[in-house]
Each structure stands twice: as structure tokens, then as C-alpha cells.
Chain A
Amino acid sequence: MKLKQIRIRNFRSLVDVTLPLEDTTVLLGENNVGKTAVLDAIKFFLANESRLSGVVHEVHEYDVHLPDETAAPRASEGFTLDATFAESSAGEWPAAVSQGLSGVIQEDPITGIGTVQLRLNCRYTEARRAYMTKTEFLASSGQPLDRNAEDQVSALQRYVPAFYLSALRDAEDAFSGRSPLWGRILRSLDLPEAERRGAQEQMDRLNEDLMKAEPRIRDIRTTLGKTGDVVATGTGERIDVRALPLKLWELLSRAEVVLRGRGNTAFFPLSRHGQGAQSLSVLFLFEAFCKHALELLYEKESTPLLMLEEPEAHLHPHAARALWAQVEQLPGQKIITTHSPYFAQHVPIRSLRILRKRGACTTVHWLPAVAEEPDVPWSEKLDDYISKSSIYEFRRSVEKPSTGTLVIKRKLEDDEYRQLQKRLAHELSINDGLHARLDALERRAAALLTDHQLRKIEACSRRTRGEIFFARCWLLCEGQSEIAILPRFADMLNISLDANGISLIDYQNDGSPGAFAALARALGIPWFMFCDDDDGGKDHMGNIEKSGFTPGEMAFHTRKLPGIHLEGYLVQFFAPELLEIASVLKPGFTAPLVDVLGECKPDYARLLALKLANADPDRVPAFFREILQRCVEVARA
């Protein structure tokens, strides 16, 4: 069974954050936005049985989110984690899971999909003078189930054992006999009795040979043996010297991993290798653990939940890039934090969760797969239409069966939306707010991206090394020439695009402006777009508009270049420089300058950028000055 959603409240900067989870989910964001807080909250409650009830000591007063300076953490409601485990389809969970958790599984009575909802709260309790945890399972209505949760929580933890591997891990610890992974693999080894006895005899023989081989050891042994003459030992045995451990399991617990470096002939213990190799080996250790020890220690139906913090740490770019494929094939469900664009660039966009800070609070953004609207009136007329189409889904409310949640899975065509309105005509005429809600739903559906659109955007993220997901503002422009000249203008205005987190994206190369705009909206990234004032530009604007943006939003986000296109606009300001560049690129040209420049895209723009190094800020054309300054404003907000 898998964790489908978590909601964290009042934990550090996470005031109220809801996160849907995939099989592999990547949390991404700048430093200090709350990625680790998300993992810590899950780890705090799910990776340790002792924290599920009673007093907990490791909670720090700063772990509780405080609305302002004067608020007292001890008086607050404490912090809360809601974890939802759910089947993807009815019957997904093995029978053993249904049986083992029968006391808390809730069931959608219509679809038969099973869910388990767990609520954990940790707050200061005056009477105990300590932080205490309380665990509850919830009914599908959201009320706590009236039962003692503890036995079912430990059952749940057996089916979903949680593990945490951190960036700051140390292979020496991870591979010690006490480690939760390596140590447990070793302890779970079960040698057949005959082999065990044989190995023990060999060990004893080897020990004896070693002791005899070197005369000084023999001597020491005899000398120490006198102790036994003075102090009577319980069994009458004399004192001995052992080079090898006495027992086989002790020998096994010292088993360690050795690695031969490239170009090296000798093996070294792992701890003598570089940190990158150590990090990687710990990751593969987890895989080995799942394969060999998980079923023995937990259940054969268990799905491990791995929290992986900055797996890219200490890895060079290529290794960081290659890591995604390795991580993705790890068993179980994974939640990963990263701020490596190298790592992020291969992550499917639907798996990304972008964390951002608004004031003191963290917000999370992701690309929705469907658009939903609850409380839509149900009628047979509506049902007749939507049940025949795969675009829609209607989930009837159990509590109020005359309504339900309308789900739209892709952008609606105009006639499809008209159909939908027609089927709801009667309800629209009597239900005041429904019209606006339906329009908003249609716009949300329009912003849904198709897999084809996503693939193109993913190509862009690969080319830009994933940095666009860390940006605080996107500036969408048509092509390479704009990309070449804009950084120069920023430079002249003394604006650092990097420091402000502004990413320039040439949308024509990598997809469509509408797809980028929809993605920016979903991920909460402020954006602007400009294009040529020609037929092509008109198409691009139309493309954005169709992604569900209102005229007001269009006016805010988009601009048309005065002067038809880039060349036409630039010649108004930099005629002498451009003339010179044109004669270098096309010596003896005869056609009009603007046309020649158009043929020399994007080289002329690169050369112009070079020429304008150290130029006066006043020379930046007004259009670009305005759009760059607005980018800076939103990025800093």
C-alpha cells in the first residue's frame, strides 16, 4: 500500500501544506523553503514507532509553527500530520493488507476503493510538562474512528515501513553492524546448521594456526594463561588469545564492503573511497536490504517508503543526472528532496512538487492531472452525456447523492463545453453560483497539459538542465535572438538574472507558449511573455488564451513588440551598430537592413550583445527596460 497524500499543519514553516504523492515524488526548491521539514514531519511520525503515542523528547519548541514573535509554542495546538493511504483501484491491496488493517480501512462504498487515513498530532501537554503525540484513524467522514489506534498503527508500519537516508550520510555508519540496513541484513542471514558448524570448525582451526605461526603470540598466550592459575575461572578454562571472533555471527557482523577504484588493483574498504562512491553505495544498500531482508523483517506484502534527502550530494553532474534512473527503479515508494538541477532535469514533470516560500509560510505547487469541481448537481441528463465520454468522470457524493464531483481529464473543445452547459441548463438556471464555478472549471481544464505537450517541455528542462524549476520568474520569448540579447540589456540595467532567479525560455523551440504559461501557473511561477506583432505573434497569443487565461490575465502577462519584430524594434535604437554587424555577416548586402538581420538570426543578436558591453543603461530600449523591471519586481516579491 502506498501513501497517496499528506497534509502537514503547523510544523516549522509548513502552516498548512497538502501534498499528493506519486510512486516517486521529487520535492524541489531553493534552500530553506521547507523540503527537509516535509521529510522530517513524515519521518517523525512514520519512521519511528515510539513516537506514535505518549511523551516525545526530541521535539524542539521551534518545530511548532508560530504565527508571530509573541506566540507561545506551548500554548499552540501543536503540529499535525494527516497521512492518506489509498488504493489506485479497488482490490489493489493484497488480501493480507485488508485483513491486517481491517479495523481502520475505510471504503468508498461505490467504487470499493479502500483508504486508510491516519492523523498524528504532537502538542505540549502541561500536565506532563512535555510534548506528547496522539494518533487517530479517521472515518471517511473525517471524524476520528472510535477505537484504540495503537495496534493498528504498528500493523500499518509493518505494511509501510519508512526509511530515511540523508545527504549527510556516512558509509561507515550505514555499513556498521548496528545500522538499520546493513546490520539487519547481516542479522537476518540464516546459515544452514551443517554449514554453520563446518565454518565454525574452520574458524577455530584457522585461529589455532595463526596462534602457532608466530612464536611471540605463543609466548604471550602462555604468560596470560597464568592468570587462570591465580583466578579460578568458572568453567576451569584457561585464558586464550583469539585473532578471530569466537562466534560465527560475530564474524558475519563485521562483514564489510570493499571496492576497487578505477585503475586501481587493490580493494579498499568503502570508507576509504570518495564521498560520492559512499553515497551511491548506501543507495544500493537500500536496494539490497529490500531484496533480502524486508520480507523477513516485515511482511511479504510490505511496500517500503523511502525518504531520500539530496541523493545527488557529492556527485559530479553526470553522475547526478544518471542517478534518477537508479533512484526510480528502487523498490517501493520514494519521496526525494533535491536542489540539483542536474538531478531534476530527468524527473517527469508530473512527479515534481515545487516548494516556495510566501512570507514565513511554505507553499507547494504541482501540475494537476485533472480538473475537479465538487458539489455539482447530478441529473440523469448529465449522466447520460458524461458516462459516454472518457473525458469526464462523475463521483457521486455518498452523503449527498444529488450532487457529486465533476472531473475533467483534458482541455474541453468549444462544442464539448457547450454540450456540458446544455446538459446542466436547468441547474444553471436555478443555481446562482454554478455558472461561474463551471466557467472556472473549464478554464482549469484548459490549463491541463497533454502528455505530448509535457514531453516537449521536458525536453526543454533537459536542455536548460532543470534550472527553470528553481526559477522565481519565467520570461517567455520567441527564439534564440531574444535569448542572446536580453542578458545584455539586463546587464546594462545592472540587473542580475541569476541572482534574481529569472529564467529566459524560448518557447518556440521547446513547446508552445500556452503549455509553458499553463505550467508556470500550475507551479506558481510568475511569468511574462512577449512576441512579435505579426501573424505568428497573434497565433502565440491565441495559444496562451486557449490555455484558459482570461483577457485580464493576458493583458498582465503578455506584450507585443512594437515594430513588428525584434529586428524592426532594435534598428530604431541601434542602427549604426546593426549596420556594421550586417556588413560583417553579409558583406556587400543590398537588401533592406531589417531583412538582412532577419536572415542572420540569431548571430546578429549575439554580436550586438558583444558590442553593447559596458554601454550606458540609458540605451536600453523602453520596452525591454519595462519588461525586465517587472520580472525583477515579481521575482523579489
Chain B
Amino acid sequence: MREPTAHSPDLFEGLSSVQRSVVEWGQGPLLLLGGPGSGKTEALARRVAHLLLESPSEKFRILVFTYTKRAADAIKDRIEIWAPGRESRLFIGTFHRFAAEVLRLHGSHVGLQPNFRIYASTSDLEGILREALNEVRLQGGEIDEDDARLLPVLHRLRMALIDPSNAPSYVLDVHLRQRIASIYGAYEHCLERANALDIDGVLYHAVRLFQRYPALGKRYRTVYPYWCIDELENANSAQYALLRAMARQGFNDVVAAADPEQSIYAWNGGGPLTIERFIGDFAADIMKLPSSTHVNIDLAFIAKNLLSHVRSKSTPESPTQPVTAGGLGTDASVRVGRLSSEHEEAQVVANDIARRYEAGAGTFAVLARARGLLQLVRDNLDMLQIPSAPAQPRGGFSSAPFAWLSACLELANRRRDLRQLEVLCSAFGEMTGVRLVPDDVIAEAESTHQDFLRKWAEIIVDHEQANLAKRMAEYVLEFLVRKADYTEFVYSARSAFMQLTSSSVWHADTFPGYADDERAWVSQIEPTLGSGAPLEAFLREIRPRPEQEPSGVRLLSIHAAKGMFFDHVYVLGLAEGELPSFVASSLGERRSEIMSEERRICFVAITRALKSLTLTCSQTYGGRARNPSRFLYEMGLPNL
């Protein structure tokens, strides 16, 4: 039975004619080109909504690749407006997340267990590399003392989808060439033994899986007959390879949106080249969206000027309104400030934000190349008591009880995780006053059953009288060691927490952050998972999510800001040696591709602004004199 057509006539409202044809696009390949704010993403989102609304009784799913999780959330929200309640028919996420999901489901064909872990931190991966080198040594292989620093080489091999046997021909160093195959092989072997994947291995294995077993791609094409890609210009060659490996046998129902001018990921293998390959491989039709409609006219002007340099043309035009130089006293849409030092720069920017923030002027972002500059602004904002969100929000649980709880679960999942044992011991000490030294636990565990969590709990139970510490340790033994029933463990531990807070043994401020953790647990973690979820899935939910949207003034690197818009944007550090970078600045136009990428980064930064843009530049950075950025001139702004 067909649902009554809940076809909202609004689906086409406010769209240009090009956008409309994108929304109505049926099958076949399409490449949608457009500048910042031209409405590419909006057109893609509504096109997905249109497909969903047109097929109410169908089960097929739509695949939408985005470059960040945040972009995925944004597109999800937009689709939700037009076609609410259909999330189960969508996969919206990064190539990486999709590949990881494929491997959880089908990784057994390339030797992976469904509950593999992904190692992203350098320390984890260095550990694996050390183990691998040891293995090579034990087998009589040759090792150089510098080999402990091979991670970047392995990273590049992974990104280029090179397997161990082919690795030697990709290594320039003659001596390394002889060792790389065995080291890389042992590295893979050690990962496999740890039931883990290096973060670069996710795409690598997914691509191999689809390449080796075409039947799998066929099933995926049945499940996902329509694919969309936002920000195609960011896709690197490994991500593009995944796309090609899945789209065999002439499959070409792919719609991609791209802006070659916003390509700032050339260093990562992305770039205009991917767009060219896409057009060729998929024989894609091309549509172009006219430039931005919602950006302030002066902002549009300077962006256009800079763009003319991106396209290697010249002669900037002047903005209609005079641009203020020197102080930031006025409220013009484009302002340029020249300060004496980065400290003054940060202070002036913070003061200016404070003045407008308190007047409720809208959303604010501070962008800069260097993290140090952002931190300076943050310190100043803190003094002015303006809320701000750092570039990298702190993750995990801050209160001792919840930190202990999550460490217990992590250790139950990986019984010999040293880092989690350290968290466990310190959080438990803070919570109960009973302090165990991790090394003691390890030593005792090594001599018996090698299980850190079990040994830790056994020691507490043996040495403590009936008290909170003993009770908690007994829960660990009962539910995590003997029964592997983490649900009961969480339930018992949390009941104990609640009892302690309600009986006022713990005061509201006994553990900083406890109330927030409690709220996060109840509102975000528990409802997302059913009672039968495996421990590994549960852990993924409680692990920190760095991409949650914070509030207050945003302090962002330019790369992190891509795809976001703010009413008022401050770009700091517009000086030679900062933006453009020192390398680009000193090579100058001799290496035009490097300078072009820098220029595109600047373009991304200035096009984040909806109402006003403030550009600042200090005479010195780190005590060194710097000239104003050439991009200021290229934008047509007065020479400072």
C-alpha cells in the first residue's frame, strides 16, 4: 500500500532553478560545482529527501559521504526537515566510518574479528610497531635502530593502499627497501593479534575487501542504489579508491558536490585531481551553481578578489565601503586591524568580541592557523567571562566515579590495557581513598592469570574491610570477571553511586563534573543502546566524541571550520610566515601550487563569515617581525 503522498510542496521553496534540477535528479552521475554558500549541500540534502519521499514503501538506503562527522550531522538535520523520521534508510557519515562498518560486518574475509578496535593514537601505534620490530628481530630479521620511527612511512603506504609484499618498490631508501616488507608484514600481524586496526588500515582493508570480492559490492549496490558525496574536493585517493572499488560493473548513480576552490587537503591526497578523476570515471554530467546569495556584498567582494588570484588572474577591485584600518572601533562588515604583538592582537580581538557578544550580535568564531594564537584569545575571553569552546573539546568523563566506571568496562573488554589500568587506579583512589599502584597490579597479574582487571579487584577484596571500596571491587569480580555481564555491573555500580549521593555521603561538589557526567550518561548513552548491546558497542558510545557541537565563541583552526558559517568571524595572524605559512612565504610564487593551497585556506577562512569579517595582523609573532599577509593585498584591502 502506498502512503498518501506527504509531498511537501515546500521541498522546492527558495531554490534556484539549478538547485531544483539537482533535487529532481534521478539516476545517473552528476557533479555539482559551486562556491562557498552557493547551496550545494542544501541541494544535495533536499535531493536525498526527495528520493525518500518518492519511495515511501521502499526499503533501499541512500549513502551520503561527508568529510567530517559534523558535516554529516548538519546534512542529517537538513534532511530531517524535509523527510522526517527516515533516518533508518540513510547512511550519512565519513568514508572512514562507512569503511569501519563494512569491516565490522564482513571483515572476517580479510581476517578481522567483528569487535576489532581502531588504534588512532600515536602511542598505541608506536607500541604495535615496537612489538613488530621485536618479532622481526626474533625471526632473525634485520632491524635498524631508527626503525622505531617508521610510523610515517607505514602511514604513507597505507594511504597509498600498498600491501607489504609491494612495499619495497615504493620505498626510496635502499637499505630500508630490504627491511620494509618484513617490518610492514609483522606490523599487520601484531595488529591482527591485538584484534586491532591502525586508523589508516580501515580504508586500506575495506578497499581490498571490495576489490577482492566483487560479490560484496553487488550486495552493497543493492542496499544502496543511490550515493551522494559532499565536498568531493576533500576526498583523498584512498577514499576515492573505495568509491571505485564499490562501484563496479558500470554503477554510476552517484551525485557529488564539489568546490575546487575550497580544496585545502592537497597534503592529504585530496584535491582538484579527485574531481577530474570523478568526471572521467563516472562520465558525470556537470551543473554549476551561481555564487553565494546570502553573503554580505563587501565580503563577496574581497572573496572574489582573492579568488581571482586562486585562478591566477590579478587586479583586485576595491570594496564599495571604505575598510577601517588600525583599530576595530567601527562595525563595518570588513575590518582590518594591525597590532603590535600577538598578545595585543588577542586582547583587542577578545575585547571586541566581548563588546558585541554582550549586545547579542549573533554567532562568533575566531579562526587562526596557529593553536597558540587561539589559546591567547581564549585566555582573554576567560578573563572577560565570555564563554568559549576550545578547538578540541575535552573528552571522556571528568568525575572520578564515572571515569572509574568507564575504565572498568574498557579493561573488561581489553584485559591488559595499561592506560585504562592507570585511569582505573587513580580514579578509584580519588573516589574511595584506596590507592593501588598500577605496577603492583601488573606484577601480580603477570605471575598469575595475566588479567589486570581481575587482579586489581582481587587485591582490593583481599585487603579491604567491608567498605565502599570492597563492595565496588566485588561488583567487578561478580559481574565483569565471573559473568561478563556488563549491564548488571553498570546497574549495580550506578545504584551505589546514587545511594551515596542521596545519603549525602557524597556532596554535590565532592567530585567535580559528577552531575554533568551523570546527565550525559542518562540522556545520551543509555537511550541510544538497547539492553542487549554488546560491550564493544556500548564502549563506543561512552568513549569521548570530540565532534560534539559546543556553544559560546568558537575557537577553531581553519581546517576545522570548513563547511561552517558564523555571523562574525575573526581571522588572526594574517601575516607572511603565518598565513601564508613560512615555507610558502619564503618559496613565494616559485612553488605556485603551495601558495595556491595557502590561498585556498585563506579563502575558506574569510568565506565563513555571514555578517562581518575581522582580519588582524600583528607586527611581530614570537618576537619576530612579520609583514602583513600578501592575501590582504590580493583581497583588495588597504596596504597596511
Which residues of A are interface residues toward B (Cβ below 8 A)?
53-54, 90, 95-96, 98-100, 102-112, 114, 125-128, 134-136, 139-141, 143-151, 296, 398-399
Contacts and interface: CB of A to CB of B under 8 A. Distances in A.
B430 interface: no
A145 B113 contact: no
B179 interface: no
Q: Which 4 A-B pairs have the closest CB atoms?
A: A109-B213, A112-B215, A141-B108, A99-B59
Which of B108, B216, B218 has the most chain A CB within a 10 Å cutoff? B108
B300 to A, nearest CB: 44
B115 interface: yes
B288 interface: no
Given A99-B58, A102-B61, 5 more contacts: A99-B59, A102-B219, A109-B215, A146-B104, A148-B529
Interface in B447-503: 479, 483, 485, 488, 491-492
Contacts of A125: 485, 488
Interface in B56-91: 58-61, 88
**Would you call the interface of chain A mostly helix, strand, loop, or mixed?**
loop
Given A99-B222, A105-B219, A107-B106, A127 B61 contact: no
B60 A107 contact: no
Interface in B158-185: none
B215 A54 contact: no
A110 B214 CA distance: 8
B59 A100 contact: yes
B541 to A, nearest CB: 10
A85 to B, nearest CB: 15
Given A143-B113, A144-B114, A145-B105, A150 B222 contact: no
B105 A114 contact: no
Contacts of B537: 146-148
A100 B223 CA distance: 8
A573 B176 CA distance: 95
Nearest to B213: A109
Nearest to A96: B59
A95 B60 contact: yes
Contact of B213 (A95, A102, A110): A110
A147 B534 contact: yes
A96 B105 contact: no
Contacts of A53: 530-532
Nearest to B536: A146
A127 B479 contact: yes
Contacts of A399: 108, 111
Contacts of A141: 108, 113
A391 to B, nearest CB: 26
A146 B223 contact: no
Contact of A150 (B60, B532, B536): B532
A103 B219 contact: no
Contacts of A100: 59
A288 B298 CA distance: 72
B532 A109 contact: no
B223 A109 contact: no
Contact of B109 (A90, A98, A105, A398): A398
7 contacts: A53-B530, A53-B531, A96-B58, A112-B215, A143-B115, A147-B534, A398-B109
Given A99-B60, A140-B108, A143-B108, A110 B115 contact: no
Contact of B61 (A99, A143, A148): A99
Contacts of B218: 112
A98 B216 contact: no
Contacts of B485: 125, 127
Nearest to A133: B532
Contacts of A139: 105-108, 113-114
Interface in B1-34: 1
A146 B533 CA distance: 8
B212 interface: yes
Contacts of B529: 148
Interface in B102-129: 104-109, 111, 113-115
Contact of A147 (B60, B104, B212, B491): B104
Contacts of A127: 479, 485, 488, 491-492
A399 B479 CA distance: 34
A151 to B, nearest CB: 8
Nearest to A148: B533
A54 B531 contact: yes
A190 B536 CA distance: 47
A148 B223 contact: no
Contacts of A99: 58-61, 222-223
Contacts of B491: 127
A580 B297 CA distance: 128
A107 B215 CA distance: 8
A139 B107 CA distance: 9
A552 B115 CA distance: 50
A399 B107 CA distance: 11
Contact of B532 (A103, A143, A149): A149
Contacts of B219: 98, 102, 105, 107, 112, 114
A148 B532 CA distance: 7
A301 to B, nearest CB: 9
Contacts of A106: 105-106
B248 to A, nearest CB: 13
B479 A134 contact: no
A98 B222 contact: yes
